[in-house]
Structure 1
Amino acid sequence: MSRMMKNSRRLLPAALLCCAALAHAQLYKSVGPDGRVTYSDAPPAAARQVETRPLPSAAPGAALPYELAQVAKAQPVTLYTSDKCAPCESARSFLAVRGVPYAEKTVSSNEDIAALRAAGGDAQLPLLTIGRSKEKGYEEGAWNAALDAAGYPKSSQLPATWRNPPPQGAAPRSASKAADPAEKAPAAAAPLSPSPGPATEAPPATGKAPPGFRF
C-alpha cells in the first residue's frame, strides 16, 4: 500500500469529525485588510467586515424571511375576531394557509366593541386591517387582493416553527385597573351590547352571534 493511501486513511476520521462539528456552527464570511474574502467557522482576529450565515445543514429558526419581515413591518396585519363566529374561524384558516403573520384581537366586552368600531367603523366581524386598509367580513377574493396589493407573498414562506403572538383583547385593560376590585364590578355588570339609542343601536344578532356584533 502506498504512503499516500495510508495518509488518506489516517486523515479521513479527522475530516469526518470536522464536518460533524461544522454542522452545528455558523459560517463566517470576512474581508481582510488586503480585501481577501475568506470563510471560516470563527471570525478572524483582523477583519474589517464580518458577515455570519447559517450553514446549509443548520436547522431553520423562527425568524421571518427578510422580504416577508419587511412587508409585515410596513403593512402589519391585524385580525379582529370573537367567539361563536364561524367566519372568524375561516379567516384564521385563510391567513394560516397563505402564510400571513398577524396579530389577533378578540372582542368580548363593551370596551372591545368600542375599539372594534374605532378600527372598522362598525361592529362587523371578522375585521382585517392591512396597514391602513380595512376588509370587513370574510371574503377570500377580496382578502387575497388586499394582501397582494400590500406586497405579501401569494404562497406561504413562514418557517415551520413560526407562531403568531397569542390573541389579546381589542381594548386590553391596564394592569392597575385589572388589579382594582372597585373597577372590576362595574365592568362585569355592564351588558355586552351597546346602550340602545338611535345613534348607537347595533343591528340584531343573527344565529349564534353575541349581542352587538354583525357577521
Structure 2
Amino acid sequence: MSRRTLTIVQLLLLTAVLSAANSQAQTLYRWIDRTSGQTVFSDRPPPPGSTAAEVKSEAKASADEAPLPYAVRLAAERFPVTLYTLSRCLEPCRLARDLLNGRGVPFTESLADTAEEQDALAARLGGDIAIPSLFVGTQGFRGFEATAWHNLLDLAGYPASAPYGAKPSGIFKQ
C-alpha cells in the first residue's frame, strides 16, 4: 500500500469510529400502552394519544461532565458536604477549599456574610461560629483544622485523595 492510500484508509477508519461514538447518544421514550396498560420503553416516539410520555436523553457525558466515582457518589448522597465561608475570608478558606478539592470531595460553599446567615450558622453549630466551618452530613466542625476535617471525611467514606481527572468543586449557595 502506498503512503497516500494508507493515510486515506486511516482517515476513513477514524471517521467511522467517530460516527459510531456519536450514534451511541440516543433518546429513550417511555409511555403507557393504551391497549395493554403496560409500560413501553422505545427509541421511537410514542404513538399519538399515549399517556404518561417521558423523554430521556442518553447522551454520553463529556470529559467535562465525567461522572463521579462510585465511592464518592455514595458518600455524597449519604453525607453531603457544606463549607461555610465569608467573602472576606482569604487564606483559611483557600486552605479549606484546597483540602476538599485535594480529596475530590464535591461540596457546596455557602457564604455567611449577613447577620441572619451567621445566626443560622451559629444555631446549626450549636454555639459561636468560626470561619471556615464544615458540615459533613449532620456533623459539623468550627474552624479549619485539617486533621479533624480529614477525620470527618474519612468517617463519611470519602476517598483520601482525588481520583485522576477530578474537577474542583465549590458550588456557591446563597
Same fold flag (TM > 0.5): yes
For residue 137 of structure 2, what is the aligned residue in structure 1?
A: 131
How far apart are 1:100 and its partner, in Å? 0.9
CA deviation after TM superposition for structure 1 residue 99, in Å:
1.3
Distance 2:112 2:43 in 1: 54
Q: 2: CA distance between counterparts of 1:25 and 1:61?
A: 19
Provide the rounded CA distance (Å) in 2 between the counterparts of 1:127 and 1:145. Answer: 14
2:158 to 152, 159, 167: 152
Aligned 8 A contact 1:61 1:159 in 2? no
Alpha-carbon deviation of 1:137? 1.1
Moved more, 64-73 or 113-122: 64-73
In the TM superposition, structure 1's runs of 4+ consecutive aligned residues that sit over 3 Å from their partners are: 12-17, 52-55, 158-164
Shift of the 107–150 alpha-carbon distance from structure 1 to 2, 3 Å rule, reads same
Aligned to 2:16: 18
Matched AA of 1:20: L
TM-score (norm 2): 0.63
The alpha-carbon distance between structure 1 residues 101 and 158, as it changes in their structure 2 partners (threshold 3 A), is farther
What value does the CA root-mean-square deviation take over the aligned residues? 3.4
Matches within 5 A, 1:128-207: 128-157=134-163, 159-160=165-166, 163-168=169-174
Secondary structure in 1 aligned to 2:171?
Answer: coil
- Which residue does the alignment assign to 1:103? 108
SS of alignment partner, residue 151 of structure 2: helix
2:83 counterpart (79, 82, 85): 79
Deviations 1:144-172 (A, max 9, x none): 1110111001111375556442242xxxx
Closer/same/farther in 2, CA of residues 142 and 17 from structure 1, 3 Å limit:
same
Give unpaired runs (5+ residues) of structure 1: 1-8, 29-42, 46-51, 169-215
Shift of 1:27: 8.3
More strand by share: 2
The CA deviation string for residues 58-94 of structure 1, in whole angstroms up to 9 with x for no partner, is 7452432333112101000011111333322221121
Provide the rounded CA distance (Å) in 2 between the counterparts of 1:113 and 1:59: 38
Checking the alignment, whether the CA contact within 8 Å between 2:122 and 2:129 is kept in structure 1 is yes
User: Aligned in 2, Cα 1:60/1:82: closer, same or farther, shift over 3 Å?
Assistant: closer
Q: Is the 8 A contact 1:80 1:107 kept in 2?
A: yes
Count matched residues: 138
Higher Rg: 1
Under a length normalisation based on structure 1, what TM-score does the superposition of the two structures give? 0.53
Kept in 1, the 8 Å contact 2:111–2:172? The answer is no
Check conservation: 1:148, 1:154, Cα contact below 8 A: yes
